[in-house]
């Protein structure tokens, strides 16, 4: 009985440590993705998806042109990005299609502010921790208006063409 109880405690502590380690590494991937966005490195923040049964369907993401405008506007308004801190993160979705939303603090050369980011977690074949594919990044700015890098909207469905019936 005592041995079972000790085993249960060891399992709980191991699970807690593993969870913290995984979330820390996912946070590191998310932070790297955001830093790449401010550096206008499209392929490092909006990761291309490869054909793989474990890879989810790609969610709408910003284009390279949108990223270029966002990063230059951020540099004009606030200067170079110095540091990004993740305040909290919350996951949503299924086992193979997880979206992670994070509340962040951004430290620029000229200002410190808050913001938020949304990522799609992508399984990788060469690493155990998923990659963070940037979907949305917002810099809160009550003075000039929020700076938002958002996904390109998916095209609206086109109405079906109706073929008239033959008489």
In sequence order, the 6+-apart residues with CB closer than 8 A to the CB of 105 are 84, 85, 87, 112, 113, 114, 115
Tens of pLDDT, residue by residue over 143-160, are: 999 999 988 655 555 554
What's the CA gap between 68 and 53, in Å, rounded? Answer: 32
Average pLDDT rounded to a whole number, residues 124-130:
76
3-state secondary structure (DSSP) of residue 29:
helix
Query: In angstroms, what CA-CA distances link 70 with 105, 142, 146, 162?
Result: 17, 17, 11, 42
Q: Are 147 and 74 in contact (CB under 8 A)?
A: yes
Tens of pLDDT, residue by residue over 80-123, are: 999 999 999 888 877 667 889 999 999 999 999 999 999 988 87
| Domains of the chain by start residue, with CATH | 2-149 (3.10.450)
């Amino acid at each position: 009985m005592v041995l079972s109880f000790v085993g249960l405690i060891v399992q709980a502590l191991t699970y807690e440590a593993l969870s913290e380690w995984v979330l820390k590494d996912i946070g590191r991937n998310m932070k790297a993705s955001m830093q790449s966005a401010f550096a206008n490195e499209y392929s490092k923040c909006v990761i291309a998806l490869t054909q793989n049964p474990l890879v989810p369907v790609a969610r709408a993401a910003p284009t390279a042109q949108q990223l270029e405008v966002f990063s230059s506007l951020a540099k004009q308004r606030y200067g170079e990005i110095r540091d990004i801190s993740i305040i909290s993160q919350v996951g949503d979705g299924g086992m193979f299609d997880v979206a992670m939303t994070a509340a962040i603090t951004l430290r620029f050369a000229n200002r410190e502010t808050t913001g938020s980011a949304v990522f799609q977690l992508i399984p990788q074949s060469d690493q155990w921790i998923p990659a963070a594919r940037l979907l949305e990044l917002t810099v809160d700015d009550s003075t000039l208006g929020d700076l938002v890098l958002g996904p390109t909207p998916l095209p609206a469905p086109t109405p079906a063409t109706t073929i008239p019936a033959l008489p």
